[in-house]
Structure 1
Amino acid sequence: MTDGNQKQGRWRSFFRWLLALIYLVAGIAHIRSPAGFLAITPDWVPFPKQVILFTGMAEIAGAIGLLIPPKLVPGLRYAAGIGLALYAFCVYPANVNHAINNIAINGETASWIYHGPRLAFQPVFIWWALIAGDVIDWPFGRKRP
């Protein structure tokens, strides 16, 4: 492995761990404090309490899946990357609902200074999950033997 590939590998590992930590914390928050998530869940979502619980468990499972080495459980990191990317795609309507309807959480509403970047960053979370799960290489483009 060349120096550039080792450096790239360290960065990928760092960002994989960071994303796993973000999803682990978010998953725990979904389970421990669901009220804010319930508030922004669109009305058309069936069984919202169960959905919030399930999404928290999915985030935790995805975070763990990103961290288990592929040699230990082949395909798990890949599946976790796809699962977290799909998760980030599926929760986007809740983020839009929160922004468009200016829903207060804990009595506080957020401005577009919060909502704008949050909505714009969602595709980055999708991409990040795919990179962390070794599903895609772009823009890193590993050289394969």
Structure 2
Amino acid sequence: MQFFKKLSLIALIAFYLLAGINHFRSPDVYYSIMPAQLPFAKLLNALSGAAEIVLALLMIRPRTRKVASYGIILMLLAFIPVHTKMVMDAPFQLGTLTVSPAVAWLRLLVFQPLLIVWAGWHSKVGSPQSEKSERRS
């Protein structure tokens, strides 16, 4: 189980690092899915990307992992209006990908909760047993 959890942690860090970088590499993708009611789309996109990068980096150290996990969960909850808009706008083009209503619903109702659970699983670093195993690695 410990090996799987380490592998999962590495994947989580890579996922959020790449997602954060993508906010700066392909910002138009994110502007197109932001609800019109949200002001300052460019600033919000940059803040989202920076938050994903910072939170990914904070996941590396056991000392900051719990805070980073909760930060990721809060960030994912803050993204729900964007994913709700995707459901309302589907079908639509997102770069070269066509987002169907089914894909948009899966993103909101399946993928989003799984991302929250994934981040929450890595917040469990407070027990003495897990801290001992973290120090050994």
Bin the TM-score by the shorter chain. Answer: 0.7 to 0.9
2:126 & 2:88 partners in 1: Cα distance? 32
Contact kept? 1:81, 1:135, Cα under 8 Å? no
Which residue of the partner structure matches residue 3 of structure 1? none
Q: Is structure 2 residue 37 aligned with structure 1 residue 44?
A: yes
Unaligned runs of 5+ in 1: 1-7
Change (3 A) 1:94 1:136: farther
Cα separation, 1, equivalents of 2:97 and 2:4? 37
Give the structure 2 partner of residue 88 of structure 1: 76
Q: Equivalents in 2 of 1:88, 1:14: separation in Å?
A: 21
In the alignment, which of 131, 141, 145 is matched to residue 121 of structure 2? Answer: 131
Matched, 1:98 2:66: no
Unpaired runs of 5+ residues, structure 2, are 131-137
The Cα shift of 1:112 comes to 2.9
Q: Over aligned residue pairs, what C-alpha RMSD do you find?
A: 2.4
Aligned with residue 21 of structure 1, among 7, 14, 23: 14
Give the C-alpha shift of residue 135 in structure 1. Answer: 6.5
TM (norm. structure 1) is 0.78
Q: Cα 1:125–1:136, aligned 2, differ >3 Å: closer, same or farther? A: farther
- Please, what TM-score do these two structures have when normalized by structure 2? 0.82
Please name the residue that 1:77 is paired with. 65
- Relative to total residues, which structure has the larger helix share, 1 or 2? 2
SS in 2 for 1:109: strand
How much does 1:42 deviate?
A: 0.8
Output the CA distance in 1 between the equivalents of 2:100 and 2:81.
18
Counterpart Cα distance in 2 of 1:136 and 1:97: 37
User: How far has the Cα of 1:132 moved from its partner?
Assistant: 1.7
* 4+ residue runs over 4 A deviation: none
The answer to which structure has the higher strand fraction is: 2
Number of equivalenced pairs? 128
